């Protein structure tokens, strides 16, 4: 009996040591987990993984980026905002996993510990930084209240700062789940783009080319305003400039209507040869709803005579003198006898579906076009061509001169007649472009260029890019006397926002920014909602599965454990019996 107590004390000490070691291991694992994260992304769209371009940008950060997230409040947020909070935390944590100490973030409640006067000052200060508040209405316990919150983050990097809006209100997203899903899909791009933009020594410069009767007025208000938000924008008269400075990262040539002279084309060509990027949006036929309304019931769509064929042909495309007719279209509104607008199918308003996997248009909604030409891609050595926009399966083309008549709306459309599917209307060209004037310029032109310190270049030194579109009114905006200027891509008759503005900004970003951050913009997080009818019908079945299966698994493991434990002790008892039954020698 004397040895029992020491054995008992020894076992208690061993148990205590094991518990202490177990607690120590758990603490160490949690500490390490706070610094090192690892996971396996099994989602189809890789929603928890960063794109390669974002990882490269984060690894190359030279300074510390500080992110203050203002999506925090002393009052409890609704479930969908809590979900967005957690998504922001996860995304910034994934940034920190790559960049290490170069990314620091914290959630801040701007109103914490502030009285009413101090809150007003906070709202004013944040407003000056581009951060505005939203009001959240809440109803509960027979009470109604308004909660102010800030769905923004402020990114500070390279001595500059930029606000990032975390929750947008896209017009084509109706439910809270769809809006949060949309916001989550854009988080990587927004934070990566903010760090990338702040890391630039200066904003990219863009020139809007005029001089050939391009639109420059109320119809291009949203175009110019949208570009000015992200770039240093100038207008450049091609007729009155000696050359296009290569200081411009890109130029926009939008719907010219008069002939380009030889010197004007040479200026564009030499800008391209020196590494410049061009966003072309060119229509070759004169056709518009305005002219159709002025001269009803029909017009003849005639050629402008822009004389750009030789230039674009050398770069690898040809804009045809035709009009695309598409059964997938946006309806035309007609007012008859002063009544409300009547919508009719109108084949000259194609609804263009971006099916390409290129980051410029991947996962993009329809783009709205009017009186659009088709594009042919041609053989050009060293030039890669990517179709960004095209007509639908049921389309055809009508060659100039085209008679456009309102009477077409009175006849039903026949699928069999639309037998020219998938006609390209926007193409990305990339590679080393060769000048359209190589071995063609007269000696006096060559001497003139030399005198301007702009010697003629017959080929690009490195890869360049341009985008050629023939979509009519692609970058134009409508307007009304009651609402004023409408957003680019908004069609007031079907109240739908098409992706024209997104296409414009994506094109410019791709042309001016070679970091590849745009790749993360095309990430799509699919919203997988429950089938409410099926969930209701199978409710009991899934409740039994969710409750019964875990209990069953525990019982199976418990039975196996008891079975093998019993076998183990039965074997020991058998060995003991055999030893005790042996006679002593």
Quote the CA–CA distance of 315 and 379 in Å, as a whole number: 9
Residue 439 shares a structural domain with residue 406: yes
Lowest mean pLDDT among 341-345, 412-416, 565-569: 565-569
Quote the CA–CA distance of 439 and 268 in Å, as a whole number: 17
Asked if residue 367 lies in contact with residue 354, where contact means CB atoms within 8 angstroms, the answer is yes
Residue 73 shares a structural domain with residue 113: yes
Residue 247 shares a structural domain with residue 105: no
Percent of the chain with pLDDT over 70: 88
Question: For the segment 436-480, what is each residue's pLDDT rounded down to a tens digit?
Answer: 999 888 888 888 888 888 899 999 999 999 999 999 999 999 988
Structure tokens belonging to residue 234: 């100038």
Question: For the segment 196-226, what is each residue's pLDDT rounded down to a tens digit?
Answer: 989 888 889 999 999 999 999 999 999 999 9
Asked if residue 210 lies in contact with residue 236, where contact means CB atoms within 8 angstroms, the answer is yes
Nearest to 172 by CA among 489, 476, 529, 503: 489
Residue 134 shares a structural domain with residue 237: no
**Pairing status of strand 250-254 against strand 205-210:** parallel
In the chain, the number of structural domains is 2
Q: Over 90: is that where the pLDDT of 21 sits?
A: no
Lowest mean pLDDT among 40-49, 393-402, 443-452: 40-49
* Distant-in-sequence, close-in-space partners of 502: CB < 8 Å, separation ≥ 6: 364, 365, 489
Residue 168 shares a structural domain with residue 282: no
In a domain, 549, yes or no: no
Residue 221 shares a structural domain with residue 190: no
* Distant-in-sequence, close-in-space partners of 433: CB < 8 Å, separation ≥ 6: 272, 273, 314, 315, 383, 459, 460, 464, 466
Quote the CA–CA distance of 508 and 564 in Å, as a whole number: 69
In a domain, 28, yes or no: no
Residue 226 DSSP code:
H
Residue 577 in 3-state DSSP?
helix
Higher pLDDT among residues 546 and 398, named by residue? 398
In a domain, 37, yes or no: no
User: Strands (DSSP E) along 141-237, which ranges?
Assistant: 143-149, 152-157, 160-165, 205-210, 232-237
Structure tokens belonging to residue 13: 């000490």
Q: Over 70: is that where the pLDDT of 179 sits?
A: yes
In the numeric block, the tokens 């040591």 are attached to: 17
Domain that holds residue 183: 52-198
In the chain, the N- to C-terminal Cα span, in Å, equals 31
Which of these three, 198, 221, 245, is where a domain ends? Answer: 198
In a domain, 582, yes or no: no
Question: For the segment 515-530, what is each residue's pLDDT rounded down to a tens digit?
Answer: 778 877 666 555 455 5
Residue 118 shares a structural domain with residue 181: yes
pLDDT value of residue 253 = 97
Which of these three, 489, 505, 521, is where a domain ends? Answer: 521
Asked if residue 525 lies in contact with residue 47, where contact means CB atoms within 8 angstroms, the answer is yes
Residue 72 shares a structural domain with residue 178: yes
CATH of the domain at 263: 3.40.50
In a domain, 384, yes or no: yes
pLDDT (average), residues 66-74: 90
Residue 279 shares a structural domain with residue 180: no
Question: For the segment 127-174, what is each residue's pLDDT rounded down to a tens digit?
Answer: 888 888 888 766 555 455 677 888 999 999 999 899 998 987 665 565
In a domain, 181, yes or no: yes
- Torsion on CA atoms 431, 434, 435, 441, rounded to nearest 10: 170
- Torsion on CA atoms 165, 170, 176, 178, rounded to nearest 10: -110
Quote the CA–CA distance of 68 and 381 in Å, as a whole number: 50
Residue 171 shares a structural domain with residue 239: no
pLDDT value of residue 348 = 94
Question: For the segment 535-585, what is each residue's pLDDT rounded down to a tens digit?
Answer: 667 778 888 888 888 888 888 888 887 887 777 777 766 666 666 665 655
In a domain, 571, yes or no: no
Asked if residue 380 lies in contact with residue 425, where contact means CB atoms within 8 angstroms, the answer is no
Asked if residue 421 lies in contact with residue 395, where contact means CB atoms within 8 angstroms, the answer is yes
Q: Over 70: is that where the pLDDT of 342 sits?
A: yes
In a domain, 87, yes or no: yes
pLDDT value of residue 45 = 54
Which of these three, 479, 496, 521, is where a domain ends? Answer: 521
Residue 220 shares a structural domain with residue 365: yes
Residue 438 shares a structural domain with residue 400: yes
């Amino acid at each position: 009996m004397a040895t029992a107590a020491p054995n008992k004390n020894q076992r208690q000490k061993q148990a205590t040591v094991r518990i202490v070691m177990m607690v120590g291991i758990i603490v160490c694992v949690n500490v390490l987990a706070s610094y090192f994260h690892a996971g396996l992304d099994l989602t189809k769209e890789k929603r928890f993984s960063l794109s390669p371009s974002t990882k490269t940008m984060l690894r190359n950060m030279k300074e510390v980026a500080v992110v203050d997230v203002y999506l925090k409040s002393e009052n409890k947020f609704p479930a969908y905002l809590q979900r967005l909070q957690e998504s922001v935390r996860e995304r910034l944590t994934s940034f920190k996993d790559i960049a290490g100490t170069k990314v620091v973030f914290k959630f801040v409640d701007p109103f914490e510990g502030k009285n009413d006067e101090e809150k007003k000052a906070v709202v004013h200060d944040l407003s000056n930084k581009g951060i505005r508040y939203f009001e959240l209405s809440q109803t509960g316990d027979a009470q109604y209240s308004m909660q102010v919150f800030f769905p923004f983050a402020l990114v500070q990097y390279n001595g500059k700062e930029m606000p990032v809006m975390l929750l947008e209100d896209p017009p084509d997203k109706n439910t809270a789940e769809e809006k949060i899903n949309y916001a989550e899909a854009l988080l990587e791009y927004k934070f990566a783009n903010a760090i990338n933009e702040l890391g630039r020594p200066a904003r990219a410069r863009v020139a809007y080319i005029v001089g050939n009767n391009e639109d420059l007025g109320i119809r291009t208000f949203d175009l110019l305003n949208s570009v000015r938000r992200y770039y240093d924008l100038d207008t450049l008269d091609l007729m009155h400039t000696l050359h296009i400075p290569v200081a411009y990262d890109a130029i926009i040539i939008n719907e010219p209507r008069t002939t380009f002279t030889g010197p004007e084309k040479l200026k564009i060509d030499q800008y391209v040869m020196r590494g410049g990027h061009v966003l072309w949006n060119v229509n070759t036929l004169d056709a518009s709803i305005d002219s159709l309304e002025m001269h009803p019931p029909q017009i003849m769509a005639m050629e402008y005579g822009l004389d750009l064929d030789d230039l674009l042909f050398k770069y690898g495309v040809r804009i045809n003198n035709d009009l695309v007719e598409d059964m997938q279209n946006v309806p035309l509104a007609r007012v008859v006898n002063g009544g409300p607008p009547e919508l009719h199918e109108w084949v000259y308003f194609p609804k263009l579906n971006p099916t390409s996997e290129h980051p410029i248009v991947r996962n993009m909604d329809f783009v709205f076009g009017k009186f659009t030409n088709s594009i042919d891609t041609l053989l050009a050595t060293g030039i890669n061509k990517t179709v960004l926009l095209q007509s639908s399966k049921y389309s055809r083309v009508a060659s100039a001169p085209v008679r456009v008549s309102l009477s077409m709306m009175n006849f039903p459309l026949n699928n069999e007649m639309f037998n020219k599917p998938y006609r390209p209307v926007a193409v990305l060209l990339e590679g080393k472009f060769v000048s359209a004037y190589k071995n063609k310029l007269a000696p006096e032109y060559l001497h003139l260029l030399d005198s301007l310190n702009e010697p003629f270049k017959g080929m690009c030194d490195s890869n360049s890019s341009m985008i050629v579109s023939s979509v009519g009114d692609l970058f134009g905006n409508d307007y009304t006397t009651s609402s004023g200027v409408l957003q680019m891509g908004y069609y007031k008759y079907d109240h739908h926002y098409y992706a024209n503005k997104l296409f414009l900004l994506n094109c410019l970003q791709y042309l001016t920014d070679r970091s590849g951050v745009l790749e993360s913009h095309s990430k799509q997080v699919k919203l997988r909602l429950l089938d409410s009818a099926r969930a209701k019908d199978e409710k009991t079945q899934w409740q039994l599965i969710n409750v019964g299966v875990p209990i069953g698994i525990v019982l199976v493991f418990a039975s196996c454990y008891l079975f093998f434990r019993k076998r183990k002790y039965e074997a020991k008892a058998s060995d003991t019996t055999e030893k005790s039954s042996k006679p002593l020698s």
